[in-house]
Amino acid sequence: MYQLLIFDWDGTLIDSAGRIVSSMQRAASAQGLAPRGDAAIRNIIGLGLPEALDALYPGIEGEEVEAMRERYSRYYLAEDEPPASLFTGVEAGLGRLRDSGYTLAVATGKSRRGLVQVFEETGLGELFHLSRCADETRSKPHPMMLEEILAETGHPVESALMIGDTEYDLEMASRAGMASVGVSYGVHEQQRLLRHAPQTVIHRFAELETWLEGQKNQIQPQAVGED
């Protein structure tokens, strides 16, 4: 039975793709870089910012990377960016999962600064036992984020579940030997998620609770000697 639930943030709990795309485009324009379309930017959501920039602008390095990081962060945190809202059912659902005894964690491509801000904006920070951000460890799909969360919580990998909307989330889980659940309402289409063999793919957040309940209610094999 799963005890530790590890959530991606952007595209899984919060509908922030529009804000990320707009912020990246504004930052690139301010820095004089060639524009990138919405689809290209949505494709890199979930990666750490240096890895995302390398995918969008191969060869960018050094001071130019740092300048883009600063510009992107400034635009993303700006009040005039499109607001990002929680997906339907997330706040209440997370509360019920925590009250049911699950340990909740976040593994995100966001920076710590960015995660702290959205924790404050949404009021969800207190629901999570711990979190890991891309500027503190290795970026997805490297499994280090998950390995560090397992080490800190003391949970074995068999009791943990990664929930995310991108193939980076699910590949990270696979590389860590961890089960995963795909989220189809985020940025990567279902076919991409299925490449990494998730336990299931959900289409609304509320389906996660139902699926987890089904996992708990599965009939356990009868031990030898039991009547």
> What is the predicted pLDDT for the residue at 173?
98
> What is the predicted pLDDT for the residue at 217?
80
> What is the predicted pLDDT for the residue at 80?
66
> What is the predicted pLDDT for the residue at 222?
44
Residues marked as catalytic? 8, 10
Backbone angles phi, psi at 7, to 5 degrees: -110, 135
Q: Structure tokens of 40? A: 């290209």
- This prediction's pTM: 0.90
Q: Is the dihedral of CA 123, 116, 121, 55 positive or negative?
A: negative
Backbone angles phi, psi at 107, to 5 degrees: -125, 110
Taking the chain (227 residues) in runs of 10, the rounded mean pLDDT of each run is 96 94 94 94 91 92 90 83 86 97 96 91 95 95 98 98 97 98 96 96 97 81 45
> What is the predicted pLDDT for the residue at 1?
86
Of 49, 13, 221, give the one whose Cα is nearest residue 131. 13
Neighbours of 147 (CB within 10 A): 19
Start-end of CATH 3.40.50.1000 domains in the chain: 4-15+84-216
Matching CATH number, 17-77, of 2.60.120, 1.10.150, 1.10.1740, 3.30.70: 1.10.150
**Distance from C-alpha of 51 to C-alpha of 168, rounded to nearest angstrom:** 12
> What is the predicted pLDDT for the residue at 227?
43
CA 206 to the chain's CA centroid: 17
Domain 4-15+84-216 has CATH 3.50.50.60: no
Start-end of CATH 1.10.150 domains in the chain: 17-77
Q: What's the chain look like in SS3?
A: CCCEEEECCECCCEECHHHHHHHHHHHHHHHCCCCCCHHHHHHHECECHHHHHHHHCCCCCCHHHHHHHHHHHHHHHCCCCCCCEECCCHHHHHHHHHHCCCEEEEEECCCHHHHHHHHHHHCCHHHCCEEEECCCCCCCCCCHHHHHHHHHHCCCHHHEEEEECCHHHHHHHHHHCCEEEEECCCCCCHHHHHCCCCCEEECCCHHHHHHHHHHHCCCCCCCCCCC
Could you read off the pLDDT of 89-148 as tens digits, one per residue? 999 999 999 999 999 999 999 989 889 989 998 999 999 999 999 999 999 999 999 999
> What is the predicted pLDDT for the residue at 41?
95
**Distance from C-alpha of 70 to C-alpha of 166, rounded to nearest angstrom:** 25
> What is the predicted pLDDT for the residue at 71?
94
Rg of the chain (C-alpha set): 18
